[in-house]
Every structure is written in C-alpha cells, then in structure tokens.
C-alpha cells in the first residue's frame, strides 16, 4: 500500500467529503480525514502571518464550519459502511473532543514555554498553534484508527 492511496484526489473530494448518504471504505475514510485535518492545520498556521492573520482567521470560520460538516459526513458514511448507525458520529465527536482536551492539557504548557493554558483560548503564539494542531492530529488519529478498523 503506497502513500498515494491516502491522498484525496480532486475528483473524489465531493463524493467523499460532502453528503451523508452512501458508504465509505476504510481507505476513502482515511483520505477524507487526512484532507480535513490538513486543511485545518494549514489554516491555523496561516493565522500567525503578520498582516493577513486576521483576514485568514475570518475566512477560517467559514472553512472551519465546512470542515465540521465534512467531518460529520465522512464519519457518518464510514459508520454506514460498517453496518452501524450514522448517529455513532456523535460518539466519535465526543471521543475526539476528550482526547484533544487531554492532549492539550499536556502539550499547551510545554509548547507555550510553561505558560498556563488549557488549549481553549485563541491560539496566538506559535507554541499555542502547534499544541492545538498536535492535539487535533492525535485526537483524530486515535478515534479515526478505531473507526477505520470497523
């Protein structure tokens, strides 16, 4: 299995990321989650750029809402493919939130130079953005792994 199997091609994007009807194979599920997480990582790092950070943050709100919708669609279709209810997406969402918060509590003080942070505030420093992104990748990776194996 090569890395190309996990890269979302533009022709597949609409079918994989949008619409909760249908089913997704484990490989298509992985493509969708990787694409969603990658888009959000890039958007968060772009908010640190001087001069355009605020504009990117405003655009990021729209991108964030679209990625939440895509995330729910991808998980729902994967659960359908595994013969489960799409409503199990709520459990997956709660799992990602719990893991992300736990990881943020550990990483935020370390990456912010000892500053007390819960990971909930707006990440305005490189360390804060890095902690938030690592928490997102780890949380989506942990929950996504179990859903992928269904």
Token output for 17: 């990321």
- The whole-number pLDDT of residue 139 equals 92
Contact 7, 38 (CB under 8 A): no
Segments of the chain scoring below 70 in pLDDT: 1, 5-6, 113-124
**How far is residue 109 from each of residues 41, 71, 105, measured CA to CA in Å?**
20, 28, 7
| pTM score of the predicted model | 0.82
**pLDDT for the residue 65:** 93
On whether the CB atoms of residues 86 and 76 are closer than 8 A, the answer is yes
Specify the 3-state DSSP secondary structure of 123. coil
The pLDDT of residue 142: 92
Confidence at residue 74, expressed as pLDDT on a 0 to 100 scale: 92
CB 64 within 8 A of CB 40: yes
């Amino acid at each position: 299995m090569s890395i190309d199997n996990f890269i979302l091609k533009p022709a597949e994007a609409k079918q994989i990321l949008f619409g909760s009807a249908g089913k997704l194979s484990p490989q298509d599920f992985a493509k969708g989650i990787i694409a969603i997480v990658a888009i959000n990582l890039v958007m968060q790092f772009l908010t640190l750029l001087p001069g355009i950070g605020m504009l990117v943050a405003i655009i990021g709100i729209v991108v964030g809402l679209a990625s939440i919708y895509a995330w729910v669609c991808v998980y729902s279709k994967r659960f359908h493919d595994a013969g489960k209810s799409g409503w199990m997406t709520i459990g997956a969402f709660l799992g990602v939130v719990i893991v992300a918060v736990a990881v943020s509590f550990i990483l935020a003080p370390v990456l912010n130079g000892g500053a007390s942070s819960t990971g909930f505030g707006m990440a305005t420093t490189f360390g804060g953005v890095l902690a938030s992104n690592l928490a997102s990748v780890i949380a989506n990776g942990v929950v996504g792994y179990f859903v992928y194996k269904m």
